[in-house]
Amino acid sequence: MSASGQILCREQTSSDGSVDAIERGIIETSERLIERFPEVSAIGLAVAGFLDAQRQTVRFAPHLPWRDANVVKRLSLLLPRPLQLEHDANSAAWGEYRFGAARGADNWVLFALGTGIGGAMMQDGKIYRGAYGTAPEFGHLTVVPDGRECSCGKKGCLERYCSGTALVTTAAELAASGEFGSPLADGLAAGSVTGTDVVAAARKGDPLAQAAVDDFSRWLGRGLSMVGDVFDPELIVIGGGVASAADLYLDAAKEEFARQITGAGHRPLAEVKIAELGADAGMIGVADIARSAVATSGLVSE
């Protein structure tokens, strides 16, 4: 990536999911890219998982095999440039802050809607990391006691009502209630319907899909009001894959947000915007974080 946030080249590689294969993929891809772009000063690695506060170790990642692994120490010995590790939601937030929807916002929150909810926040222009480096887990706030089961082990988490996956669960519950006739009903009962299908059906005016989207909007508004109550941000940026369907739900979610926040009508309300960098936000953000770290520390590769 260039200094102005422009992606110069992309490469993708696959692995069998083992630590060895993933690390080899990172090293080989980095070597190939640096052969083509020798001016590259640093390598950024955005990981969806829990990192330590120093961003050296991946403590746990639900979809990756690293467990309490000092990834920076291990990979730095083998990589041709200094490596910076960062949480993927923090990376996306930094990307939006430097080059996207959050430019100029000092106190703001990223609320990323995908299969679950990813979150990050910036305070006074810095990523807020908490005491132990754990990014905010908006998705796992309990909103329905003893509600829908969540993969985190709890019940009634916000992301079980407000995410791409939740759209399908809600649509399936509505279909099972028999209240709506819909061509989606059979697929929902068989488990073959995706969030994208529900969105597409809602666009075509399917009443069941529209009811599922309306429910999603209400939960999103409530989620935003909780974020507003805790952090009082100037801006909330909605990112993640579900952001592309924002025209279907954002106005209703904003209305619910304005209704639900404590002191409604008597306080300034955070602006709510859609992310601008899409799926590239994390990649752009972590590249910029890595380059800045090298520039400020004077680190050079050995």
Binding pattern to Zn ion, positions 128-147, x when CB under 5 A? ------------x-------
Q: Which is nearer to Zn ion, 36 or 154 (CB)?
A: 154
226 binds Zn ion (CB under 5 A): no
- In whole angstroms, the minimum distance from the beta carbon of 49 to Zn ion comes to 15
Q: How many residues bind Zn ion (CB under 5 A)?
A: 5
Q: List, in order, residues 6 or more apart from 106 with CB less than 8 Å away.
A: 122, 123, 124, 125, 234
Q: Which one, 152 or 200, has the nearer CB to Zn ion?
A: 152
Choose one: 157-165, 205-213, 223-231, 245-253; the region binding Zn ion (CB under 5 A). 157-165
> Taking CB under 5 A as the rule, does residue 64 contact Zn ion?
no
Q: Of 154, 186, 189, 264, which one interacts with Zn ion (CB under 5 A)?
A: 154
State in angstroms the smallest separation of the CB of 170 from Zn ion: 16
Of 19, 48, 64, 152, the one binding Zn ion by CB under 5 A = 152
Determine, following the binding rule CB under 5 A, whether residue 149 of this chain makes contact with Zn ion: no
Residue range at the interface with Zn ion (CB under 5 A); choices 14-22, 152-160, 244-252, 291-299: 152-160
Q: How far is the C-alpha of 136 from the C-alpha of 119, rounded, in Å?
A: 6
Nearer to Zn ion, 40 or 143 (CB): 143
Contact assessment for residue 242 and residue 198, using Cβ atoms and an 8 Å cutoff: no
With CB under 5 A as the contact rule, the residue among 150, 200, 258, 269 that binds Zn ion is: 150
Give min distance, CB of 242 to Zn ion, in A.
17
Q: Which residue ranges make up the site for Zn ion (CB under 5 A)?
A: 140, 150, 152, 154, 157
